[in-house]
Structure 1
Amino acid sequence: MRKETMRAVEVLEVGIDAAAGLTRELIATVGGVCDRAEDSQGAVVVLRTLGATGHVPAPDMAVLTKWEGVLRRLERLPAASVAAMSGPCAGVALDAAMAADYRVAHPKTELVLSTASGEVWPGMALYRMGRLSQRGPARRAVLFGMPVGADEAFAAGLVDELSEKPVAGAARLVGHLSGGWGADLAIRRDLLWGSTAEFEGALGGHLAACDRVLRRAASV
């Protein structure tokens, strides 16, 4: 009988607090986790998201572009990622959670679309939510900014699991998700999501829409 050697799993954790907003420090932190995941022989990235509700200060376009770049890098890692979602999930927390491979949410978590100058912020979280589900809750959130409760998000496929202790739920998954490490994981994601050109087209539209929102906010 062949005895298989268990590979050690490196758990790379990063906290993402929406109340702190989008900063260069956050981008550097997530980028550093991506560096470590790419260098590891077996890793799982755990995103511990803390949310905020209501208005989230909009970043400048240069910072926003860098943030989307690091999220895209997170999505293409040779390592699985899991989001442990506690509290309301908005802003950068929602951005990161929607980019993860697997989402564990507290039963009282709400997915909350951020606003700027009274209108829904046209972030790429909307694109990712639409890719995950076009059921009623996701559609109403994307179009009208209506919050999505945990039960609705689970039913719509926006989260994969509900848990009173999301971080513990994420920890339980580490051994299983580590089995997907490697270049083939990124290839399977591409097969699942389809055209890169479609993403790049959505990204261009997102940045243009965000720029218009920022200009309108500056003129008020």
Structure 2
Amino acid sequence: MVTGETMNRNASTAGTETLAVDGAQPISVELVARVGEACDRAEPGQAVWQLVVHASGAPARARLEELTVGLVSRWERTLRRLERLPVPLIGIADGDVGGPALDALLATDYRIATPDARLVVPVGAGATWPGMALYRLAHQGSQTAAVRRALLFGEPIGAPDALALQLVDEVTDDVAGALEIVAARTATVAGPELAIRRQLMFDAATTSFEEALGAHLAACDRTLRQVAAGADGVAA
């Protein structure tokens, strides 16, 4: 079980921004603002080079009483901003992960799960919550039987199944050690180029070759210009 003060607040240490999202708590204006502030600190020009999302907690049922479509829309837009940040996004799934914690986890690039982790789609008003976690689970989990049962009936996806479905990248008791390895692996990959590659990857699932070609050529042209500019600087 992951414990410590960083599970309860945001912290920025040595280039790492840490964001804790408690899925047992409902979506709120405060949560939207807190995630937005973490995004602010990870934008270009800041000292942050990676963002670690600690996702834990799940509601016993979908907590809908205080939600409005406007608030949900703000939350989904903030998650989309998180998903597009120009830094590596590392997720940690600990215990039951549902509600906004599941939303945030599914927006990360690399996901580490503890052995007792379970991805939980909350049920309320006679059905599962139809937020964008359903979209991301269906898109990333390839419509497998386990994902289908989770989306339709709220059946949790345990860590072994989540790993087999590639919804998480590794399952380990040594979260600190796994974070250290991932941090070293991603240390040289950051900035707008990472965000561009991530978007090209997202688009590949729904875009034809002909439609994608222009965006990929533009990215290639951008890279070649950067290489040429770097070579000119060395020559000078």
Give the TM-score normalised by structure 2: 0.75
Deviation of 1:145 (Å): 2.0
CA shift in 2, pair 1:61/1:197, >3 Å: farther
- 1:31 lines up with 2:40 in the alignment: no
Q: Which has the higher contact order (CA 8 A, sep 6+)?
A: 1
The answer for the alignment partner of 2:136 in structure 1 is 128
Selected match of 1:163 from 172, 179, 185: 172
The answer for the alignment partner of 2:152 in structure 1 is 143
Distance in structure 1 (CA, Å) of the matches to 2:78 and 2:205: 16
Selected match of 1:109 from 114, 117, 126: 117
- 1:119 lines up with 2:124 in the alignment: no
The answer for the alignment partner of 1:153 in structure 2 is 162
Root-mean-square deviation (CA, aligned residues, Å) is 2.1
Query: Structure 1: which 5+ residue stretches go unaligned?
Result: 1-7, 199-220
Distance in structure 1 (CA, Å) of the matches to 2:98 and 2:51: 20
Distance in structure 2 (CA, Å) of the matches to 1:77 and 1:47: 13
Distance in structure 2 (CA, Å) of the matches to 1:165 and 1:124: 30
Tell me which moved more, 136-145 or 75-84. Answer: 136-145
The answer for the alignment partner of 1:74 in structure 2 is 82
Query: Structure 2: which 5+ residue stretches go unaligned?
Result: 1-12, 208-236
Selected match of 1:50 from 25, 46, 56: 56
Distance in structure 1 (CA, Å) of the matches to 2:56 and 2:105: 10
The answer for the alignment partner of 2:189 in structure 1 is 180
Q: Secondary structure at the match of 1:19?
A: coil
- 1:97 lines up with 2:105 in the alignment: yes
Pick the structure with greater CA Rg.
2
Distance in structure 1 (CA, Å) of the matches to 2:20 and 2:177: 15
1:150-178 alpha-carbon deviations (Å, 9 max, x no partner): 00010011111101143553344223223
| Identity across the alignment (%) | 37
Q: Secondary structure at the match of 1:169?
A: helix
The letter for the 2-side match of 1:92 is P
Deviation of 1:114 (Å): 1.1
1:31-66 alpha-carbon deviations (Å, 9 max, x no partner): 111111003255110011111243031222121111
Asked whether the 8 Å contact 2:127–2:152 carries over to 1, the reply is: no
1:185-220 alpha-carbon deviations (Å, 9 max, x no partner): 11111111117999xxxxxxxxxxxxxxxxxxxxxx
Distance in structure 2 (CA, Å) of the matches to 1:103 and 1:29: 21
Deviation of 1:12 (Å): 0.2
The letter for the 1-side match of 2:104 is A
Distance in structure 1 (CA, Å) of the matches to 2:137 and 2:193: 24
Give the TM-score normalised by structure 1: 0.80
Distance in structure 1 (CA, Å) of the matches to 2:139 and 2:127: 22
- 1:83 lines up with 2:91 in the alignment: yes
1:111-133 alpha-carbon deviations (Å, 9 max, x no partner): 11011212111010111112212
* Count of residues in correspondence between the two structures: 191
Distance in structure 2 (CA, Å) of the matches to 1:57 and 1:167: 32
Question: Which has the larger share of helix?
Answer: 1
